[in-house]
């Protein structure tokens, strides 16, 4: 009888060890997955995979034509908008084509949004210093450009408006 009891106790202890080992392995796997996910995020801090679109943008940014865009809800003057975009490792949006401008006019509706075009004398330049090649007309006599329901317009740079930041797509799937 004592042999049967000893066998049952041994079997119980063995089964308990198996459960403990399984729990330890599971915890180790979870820690490894978290560590790997953290490594990927550090390597590409700007990214959030959008597999269905084939490129990556951060959360709450919009991907369009290979760029990532941030559409602000807050209002700032042109210079503070530029600084805010810089804090996101981005710039005030560079709008390359009439097609891209038309897209944003439709999306932004009638709200006014600063983008990265300003005038020095008679020369329009992007916030990165590259001269604007007149891809589309800019209405008005101001020194800073914004998007409205009609296209691109300009006004004094101290006006407060919402703003549009852009960042080239920096990571892949």
Beta carbons within 10 angstroms of residue 119's beta carbon: 18
Question: What digits encode the pLDDT tens for the residues 92-145?
Answer: 999 989 999 999 999 998 899 999 999 999 999 999 899 999 889 999 999 999
Predicted model pTM: 0.66
Question: What digits encode the pLDDT tens for the residues 46-79?
Answer: 444 444 445 679 999 999 988 999 999 999 999 9
- Tell me the DSSP string of 33-83: HHHHHHHHHHHSTT--EETTTTEE--TT-EEETTEEEEE-SS-B-HHHHHH
């Amino acid at each position: 009888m004592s042999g049967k009891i000893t066998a049952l106790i041994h079997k119980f202890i063995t089964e308990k060890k198996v459960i403990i080992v399984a729990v330890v392995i599971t915890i180790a796997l979870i820690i490894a997955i978290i560590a790997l996910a953290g490594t990927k995020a550090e390597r590409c801090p700007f990214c959030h995979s959008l597999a269905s679109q084939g490129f990556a943008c951060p959360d709450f940014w919009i991907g369009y034509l290979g760029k990532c865009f941030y559409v602000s809800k807050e209002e700032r003057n042109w210079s503070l908008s530029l600084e805010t975009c810089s804090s996101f490792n981005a710039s005030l949006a560079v709008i390359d084509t009439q097609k891209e401008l038309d897209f944003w006019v439709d999306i932004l509706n009638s709200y006014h949004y600063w983008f990265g075009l300003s005038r020095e004398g008679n020369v329009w330049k992007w916030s990165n210093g590259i001269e604007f090649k007149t891809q589309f007309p800019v209405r008005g006599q101001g020194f800073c450009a914004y998007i409205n329901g009609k296209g691109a317009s300009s006004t004094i740079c101290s006006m407060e408006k919402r703003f549009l930041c852009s960042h080239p797509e920096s990571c892949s799937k």
